[in-house]
């Protein structure tokens, strides 16, 4: 199986909800609010505070969506409630609050401001796999790896989540996250009871900026490595670059954004011009190479994508 990850599109949402509804445990957690999940996710697509991605098996001729992952940037007040015992399931609570007009997700402006100064709080909304792929280790590894790639570069204060399966919880702990104590809400590396008991009840795992240095070398700690962006990409440019970073072609970019290929090429040119102002060597203007041929756009794109892989802060919302 070869897994690819790309942003969730409106036409994906119904299939993603079906994946969630395919798990008895998730159905029990969501209850009646599961009927609102599709409309809630649709209403949030495109928001800076909502990141939703689908995982597909490219070797499956039916192009089946085999997994869905969503996260949200939330208010400090909601984060405090999440970490205050008794715990609750984060996904269903977020769905209920958004449906009822009491959303704890930050506005686009609030996300940009918080990510430029002060920092943001990230919660894992949902991570679910198709019932036929639950035991696929390669899919689980893709979930863990792409979560890091999609959230590195934020000025993160804290990240928390719950609702993990036994295998996912073990992998998350190996990645460097800590448990939140059911007694006082503090972080600990000690499990309250058996793993079976933990996954059957609301539980919280996560990490903070202050604790990350003590987990140095782990995947989780890498989420808190931060430096200020240089280029100031627009939100539209960032969405295009995020898709390209995940391996999306120009055709994928046009399909996702609902624009023509020529518009995608114009967007790339605008991006190159913006980068060249700050770093002419990273995105040089067309010139004759030593061999006497013009530098190919493909090489320029590859160089920029490689840079962005190491500097994800360029793709995160920030105040102008």
Least confidently predicted of 91-95, 233-237, 303-307: 233-237
Give Cβ neighbours of residue 257 (< 8 Å, ≥ 6 apart): 236, 239, 240, 264
Sheet holding 178-180: strands in order across? 3-7, 50-57, 65-74, 120-129, 156-161, 205-208, 178-180, 187-188
- Beta pairing partners, 124: 71
pLDDT of 211-264, one tens digit each?
Answer: 999 999 999 999 999 999 999 998 889 988 988 887 888 888 888 777 888 888
CA distance 99 to 209: 31
Domain ranges of the chain: 3-222, 235-315
The pLDDT confidence band at residue 288, using thresholds 50, 70 and 90, is very low
CA nearest neighbour of 168 among 131, 200, 207, 128: 128
Q: What is the pLDDT of residues 98-140, one digit of tens each?
A: 999 999 999 999 999 999 999 999 999 999 999 988 888 888 8
> SS3 of 39, please?
helix
Give every CB contact of residue 103 below 8 A, 6+ residues apart in sequence.
97
Average pLDDT over residues 161-169: 86
Enter the CATH code of domain 3-222: 3.40.630.30
Residue 8 has pLDDT above 80, yes or no: yes
Write down the H helix ranges in 100-175. 108-116, 137-151, 166-174
CA distance 238 to 315: 5
Q: What band does 41 get if pLDDT is binned at 50, 70 and 90?
A: very high
141 or 192, greater pLDDT = 141
Residue 291: which pLDDT band, with cuts at 50, 70 and 90? very low
Does the pTM surpass 0.85? The reply is: yes
């Amino acid at each position: 199986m070869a897994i690819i990850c790309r942003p969730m599109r409106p036409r994906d949402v119904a299939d993603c909800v079906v994946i969630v509804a395919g798990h008895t445990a998730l159905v029990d957690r969501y209850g009646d609010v599961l009927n609102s999940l599709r409309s809630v996710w649709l209403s949030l697509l495109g928001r800076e505070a909502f990141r939703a991605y689908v995982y597909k098996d490219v070797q499956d001729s039916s192009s089946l969506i085999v997994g869905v992952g969503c996260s949200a940037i939330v208010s400090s007040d909601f984060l405090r409630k999440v970490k205050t015992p008794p715990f609750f399931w984060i996904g269903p609570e977020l769905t209920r609050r958004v449906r009822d007009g009491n959303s704890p997700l930050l506005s686009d402006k609030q996300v940009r401001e918080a990510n430029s100064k002060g920092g943001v709080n990230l919660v894992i909304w949902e991570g679910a796999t198709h019932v036929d792929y639950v035991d696929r280790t390669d899919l689980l590894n893709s979930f863990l790896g792409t979560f890091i790639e999609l959230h590195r570069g934020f000025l993160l204060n804290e990240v928390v989540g719950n609702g993990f399966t036994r295998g996912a919880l073990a992998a998350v702990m190996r990645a460097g996250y800590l448990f939140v104590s059911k007694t006082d809400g503090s972080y600990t590396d000690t499990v309250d009871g058996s793993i079976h008991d933990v996954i059957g009840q609301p539980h919280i795992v996560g990490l903070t900026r202050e604790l990350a240095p003590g987990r140095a070398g782990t995947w989780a700690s890498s989420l808190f490595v931060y430096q200020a962006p240089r280029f100031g990409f627009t939100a539209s440019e960032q969405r295009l670059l995020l898709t390209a970073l995940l391996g999306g072609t120009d055709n994928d970019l046009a399909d996702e954004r609902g624009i023509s290929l020529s518009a995608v090429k114009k967007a790339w040119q605008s991006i190159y011009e913006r980068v060249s102002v700050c770093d002419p060597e990273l995105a040089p203007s067309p010139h004759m190479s030593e061999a006497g041929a013009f530098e190919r756009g493909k090489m320029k794109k590859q160089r920029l994508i490689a840079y962005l892989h190491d500097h994800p802060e360029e793709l995160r919302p920030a105040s102008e």
